[in-house]
Amino acid sequence: MGDLFDFDQPASLYAVMGNPVAHSHSPQIHQMFAAQFGLRVEYQKIQVDLGGLPQAVANFRAAGGRGLNITLPFKLDAFRLADKLRPRAQLAEAVNTISFADDDRIIGDNTDGAGICRDIIFNLERPIAGRRVLLLGAGGAVRGVLGPILEAHPELLVIANRTVDRAVELERHFSSFRSVAGCGFGDLKDQQFDIVINGTSASVTGDIPSIPHTVFAPGGLAYDMMYGDRPTVFIEWAVRHGAGRTADGIGMLVEQAAESFSIWHDRSPQTGKVIAALRGAGSA
């Protein structure tokens, strides 16, 4: 790992595209990763109008851009735009990482699922294999992480959603994995889980999915894919109702970025210090 930058090399250009995008921590995270290897990277935030992703990506490529992160609400647009998809992006039907082939073809990948799995298994030291996992929600956030979580071999993965049909539809989409089931919140009574992941957007409005209070197995992990500078309402609720450990989505944010970084730079950055730095800075 080098500390010195090579100032003879021009900085290579990366960016995150979203709407809104001003709040994004990605530039900060990628600069910290780049510094670990002495790489010169320029990482921009680009706000894109709805419907404007294809043009924005073309402009970015024409300006010499090497790779893109795609955030809300464009992950499905990026999936449709990609000329070639990595299998995990194909399964998620969502793209959060774009790279460009030599012939300029757009290659779409999705690092969200790898990010949450790495955070849970390595940072939080909670195995997924053989465990009972509950995923709350059935929107894009959940769809993006389902494949890699199932590939980590949970004993059972239950998707519970306010609108039951959406959970059942996801069960169908992922039915090649036999350990997956979709249901409504009411169906969770009498069930306990080792890992409960909140992938709903309920925290945004200060709401908590209406799940039974008994959902945590002894010592169970409560994981909110959202984060803020204070514990989310879901985390506070989980502490009151028997979760043994809690985590917000900062670790996932950094780990999905690390996976994107390794796609672009063929090097795996260290994440622990970056997670600590973001937490220390207050990560709203």
Note the residues at the interface with ligand ATR (CB under 6 A).
137-141, 161-163, 166, 200-202, 207, 209
CB of 151 to ligand ATR, least distance (A): 20
C-beta closer to ligand ATR: residue 61 or 166: 166
CB of 240 to ligand ATR, least distance (A): 18
Report which residue type is found at 189: K
C-alpha distance from residue 202 to each of 23, 70, 186, 232 (Å): 19, 22, 17, 10
User: Helix (H, G, I), strand (E, B), or coil: what is residue 46?
Assistant: strand
- Specify the pairing of strand 156-160 against strand 132-136: parallel
Q: Which residue is nearest to ligand ATR (CB)?
A: 139
- Tokens for 121, please give them: 């298994």
Catalytic residue among 45, 75, 84, 189: 75
45: annotated active-site residue? no
Sign of CA dihedral 89, 92, 93, 94: negative
- Rounded distance between C-alpha atoms, residue 230 and residue 251, angstroms: 15
C-beta closer to ligand ATR: residue 83 or 207: 207
CB of 77 to ligand ATR, least distance (A): 13
CB of 94 to ligand ATR, least distance (A): 9
C-beta closer to ligand ATR: residue 112 or 194: 112
C-alpha distance from residue 48 to each of 18, 26, 77, 105, 276 (Å): 6, 16, 12, 21, 30
C-beta closer to ligand ATR: residue 41 or 202: 202
Q: Which residues are catalytic?
A: 75
